[in-house]
Structure 1
Amino acid sequence: MSTQGRWIVITGGPYSGKTSLLERLAARGFRTLPEAAIRVIDALNAELGVEGQRAWRLAHAVEFQDRVAREQEAQERVVALGAGEVLFADRGLPDSIGYCRYKGVEPPRWLLEATRPKRYTAVLLLDTLSTFDRRLSSGRTSTYEDSLRIRDHLRATYEELGYPVLSVPELPIGERDSFALRLLGLTGAR
């Protein structure tokens, strides 16, 4: 992982519009990194089915976050950013710590150690959308209230690690990407 450029994390509770914002930023020409948890959930759905995956995640919260964090670490390891380049990531490694804390379980030790060196330039924390959709068919398990609590744990985790956390309110998607770029002092595409 090379961090010569600007590495921006987009985070928030479930159904906060992270993926939609990432897609808009990619369309503007910015480099992006997809959410590791979705890849892990998709693999579990293929292995166990949606209901089996949900049950497994509820029974194995630490192991699930360990898998997500290892996938995130693997994705980040292969990214090289040149000077002046900008990359937007759908979540960062500290998200797994925030999720563990939300679940009331101790994060894996390796993860706590891996997040100590700062690796991100800034964190955009998105508000949960008022049109919350549980998307149960995809294997998601969170409610609107869960999403708000998760968001709060994510904020606390990133702040504890010394990252600047910038809040992005609910806005029409056509305005949200421009708002986020203004917060970061960026314009247009890269």
Structure 2
Amino acid sequence: MKNRKIVITGGPGTGKSSIIHNLEDKGEKCLHEISRQVTLEAQKEGIDQLFLEQPLLFSEKLLQGRLNQFKEAEQLKGNHIFIDRGLPDVVAYMDYFGTNYPELFEDTCKQNQYDLIFILPPWKEIYTSDNERYESYEEALKISSYLYSTYRRYGYTPIEVPKSSVEERTNFILDKI
């Protein structure tokens, strides 16, 4: 039986990483968000904010990294693998910023399908910004709407995770799978 690939997505600052860490604490297999890693690698090469300075290159690196995670999830042992953001997130962000991209992005999303999508809604009370998360809460709201529509465009029906404690949100996800 193949692994079920389960994406946890949502706009910036919605609690994805906290849930992923809680899932890991419960013994679940998880793959972490890679955008900060891509940003840090670019900073080592002297590019302060790759996403802002070269958005297409940043997105190409993200797409490849998330495709690698998709393939890694297929190789892991277990019934399901949780992934912090999926391939369609790259397209959603590019659409949000109005960045043109090659057909390869669409094709990659269509050819590599996840089994289940959980989406975390914007939540002003827990939203914070930091060195890598520079969006305002209002921008996070708009990004969230792009994520919803992009996942639907690829045929998914995202399951919205209710606003509650990390533990309750984690249990909601586990109950649904």
Query: Is the aligned partner of 1:148 residue 2:141?
Result: yes
Match of 1:114 in 2: 108
Contact 1:36 1:72 in 2 (8 A): yes
In the superposition, relative to structure 1, how do residues 126 and 178 fare at CA in structure 2: closer, same or farther (>3 Å)? same
Q: TM-score when scaled to structure 1?
A: 0.84
Flag as ranges the 4+ runs of structure 1 deviating above 6 A: none
Contact 1:62 1:108 in 2 (8 A): no
- Give the distance between the partners of 1:116 and 1:72, measured in 2 at CA: 14
Partner of 2:7, secondary structure, is strand
Contact 2:8 2:85 in 1 (8 A): yes
- Give the distance between the partners of 1:113 and 1:11, measured in 2 at CA: 20
Contact 1:96 1:107 in 2 (8 A): no
CA deviation vs aligned residue, 1:163-182 (integer Å, no higher than 9, x gap): 12011132111211112222
Percent identity over paired residues: 29
- Give the distance between the partners of 2:60 and 2:108, measured in 1 at CA: 12
- Give the distance between the partners of 1:5 and 1:158, measured in 2 at CA: 20
Residue of structure 2 aligned with 1:53, choices 39, 48, 54: 48
Query: Where does the alignment leave 5 or more consecutive residues of structure 1 unmatched?
Result: none
Query: Where does the alignment leave 5 or more consecutive residues of structure 2 unmatched?
Result: none
Contact 2:117 2:158 in 1 (8 A): yes
Match of 1:27 in 2: 25
Cα RMSD (Å): 1.8
Shift of 1:38: 1.8
Contact 2:19 2:169 in 1 (8 A): yes
Bigger mean CA offset, 22-31 vs 117-126: 117-126
Residue of structure 1 aligned with 2:128, choices 130, 133, 146: 133
Shift of 1:81: 4.6
Number of residues of Structure 1 aligned to a counterpart in Structure 2? 175
Q: TM-score when scaled to structure 2?
A: 0.90
